[in-house]
A and B are shown apart, each in its own frame.
Chain A
Amino acid sequence: MDIGLSGFIKKLPLVSLPVIENLQISPGAFVLTVERISDFLPGQVVALSTDDKIAPRLYSICSAPDNEYLQVLFSLKPDGELTPLLARLKPGDTLRVSAPFGAFLGDDRPAWWIAAGTGVAPYRAMMLAGLAHNKKLIHGGRFANQFYFQDEFLDCLGESYIRCCSQETGDGLFSGRLTQWLREQVLPSEISFFLCGSVEMVVETRDILISKGVDIDNIMSEVYF
């Protein structure tokens, strides 16, 4: 019995694209750029791998749908299988990329966007697609250098951009976890809540929202498993 993963990986329709740029934007966090060869909706993901031997992982697209390039934001997991290889990619190296898919889609209705770590990536795509005007973004990170794309978010969202930093203090940062910030808020009614990031953030935040009376129909979650 073949217990290797080669079987299904070969059948996933991934195409090879040259890396255009792999920029470390913060310690351990990279924005990887390739040419955009398909249309996508803000909030969708692509499956990525470096070669056919490694099971593809999913990454939210963080660039604008009309940009000629496609970008993802990833954080390096030193013990992980794929991200150490992604982190070493240089311009011209080959990346295996799937067609975009996924249903965690931004829309025009008022909402709070809640993210932990790299979970902020799909909201950047949504913001660049012009969907940020009636949104509040609450981003949680451990350290002050983990508020990826903060200049762009500050520019666009101003006071509706909340950075919750759990391990450091800093100018403009709420000192504590995003879950603590949320517990202290009176939540607006009739809006949607988008949650994106680790399962730990999603389940805790979901419980807080439900305990504050938010209907599950108004909670949309993307878990980075």
Chain B
Amino acid sequence: MEKPALFGQTLSEIQSIVAELGLKPYVAKQLTEWLYQKHARSFAEMTNLSLSVRQILDEKFRLGKSEPSRVQASSDGTKKYLFPAGSRGFIEAAYIPDEDRATLCVSSQVGCKMGCLFCMTGKQGFQAQLSAGEILNQISSLPERENLTNIVYMGMGEPLDNLLQVMKSLEILSANWGYGMSPRRITVSTIGLVPAMKHFLEHSEAHLAVSMHSPFHDERRKLMPIENVYPIADVVEKIRAYNLGKQRRISFEYIMFKGVNDSPRHVKEIARLLNGMRVRINLIRFHPIPDTPLESSDDDTIRQFREGLLKKGFRTTLRASRGQDIFAACGLLSTKELVKLQAPDF
């Protein structure tokens, strides 16, 4: 069996490991420094640990970082990295540089269980949960790591369906003993798994992006089966009931589908649903995926939709389409060709 990975463990977990191995307590702090601040890729690099300590660690643990196995570059500077996820397949991360910022879109699962109609990852089914270390490895092993200004959990998978590991990765990213990154530079997206979302809101300071895609129950459940159990109205109500403070950002993602969710009636209903909330709405052009009956709204309709929302007082952006030519854009990540698909249960 593979040795457990040290990378991706929190300070308190590493303290327990150090105590169990009978090492001096200060080794825990040295280890988190090497793992998360000095970006060591092997135990041999940890030169302020004695040789015997390094040997003990090496016997029991692997460090747990792995290089991307492939990179594809888009003409617009976006890059898509393929990372191995242990023996359970591959995941993709999209690096999106901009004028004054560079964002990494990370994956949280191999595949996804949510089955949204418009999503390539959804078509792959579910293969595995990522550990906190596998989530963080997409950041740590990124050649452009030092340029990163923002992390968004919007890659493959529904982050809040892997709540424990995602929360651990957020702790490591934002802790002083970890990457020391401001949670205001991190956004977690969700389709609205209500119980897990409540936990996230209460235990993390990171921003939240909710995939809305339609304000109407009957329409949304055709696009996103989750609407049957956690309707968008409930999701909004739960967020409304939560005191978010001034710094924390809640945004709603809205992919524009021609003739489906792009009418003035939708603008009106979104405004009613989000009435009085200080939120941002991100409109996104749809990138058609194979075998889909959906098409993207045209530019004029998107512009009018945006103006309608702006008039209602909502900060509304149209997210630029990045990395479309290498399938790195929103909803296009998939490793279906590379993973061993689950034997179906039917």
Show the binding face of A for B, using Cβ within 8 Å: 1-3, 5, 7-9, 11-12, 45, 55-56, 58, 101-104, 116-117, 140-142, 164, 166, 177-179, 197-204, 206-207, 210-211, 215-217, 219-223, 225
Contact = CB atoms under 8 A, between A and B. Distances in A.
A117 B344 CA distance: 10
Interface in B178-222: 195-196, 198-199, 202-204, 217, 221-222
A116 B344 contact: yes
A217 B223 CA distance: 9
Main secondary structure of the interface of A (DSSP, over half): mixed
Chain B interface size band reads 35 or more
B91 to A, nearest CB: 17
B346 A223 contact: no
B117 interface: yes
B114 A199 contact: yes
Contacts, number: 124
Contact of B344 (A8, A104, A177): A177
Interface string B319-346: 0000000000000000000000110111
Interface of B: 10, 112-115, 117, 122-123, 125-126, 158, 161, 163-164, 167-168, 171, 195-196, 198-199, 202-204, 217, 221-223, 225-229, 231, 291-294, 341-342, 344-346
Given A142-B346, A220-B222, A199 B113 contact: yes
A203 B221 contact: no
26 contacts: A1-B167, A1-B203, A7-B198, A7-B199, A102-B229, A103-B217, A104-B228, A117-B345, A140-B346, A178-B346, A197-B346, A198-B344, A198-B345, A198-B346, A199-B114, A199-B115, A203-B123, A204-B344, A210-B291, A211-B291, A216-B117, A216-B223, A220-B221, A221-B115, A222-B225, A225-B161
Contacts of A216: 117, 222-223, 293-294
A164 B291 contact: no
Tell which of A2, A55, A166, A223 has the most Cβ of chain B within 10 Å.
Answer: A223
Contacts of B125: 198-200, 203
Contacts of A166: 344, 346
A169 to B, nearest CB: 16
B202 A1 contact: no
A104 B226 CA distance: 10
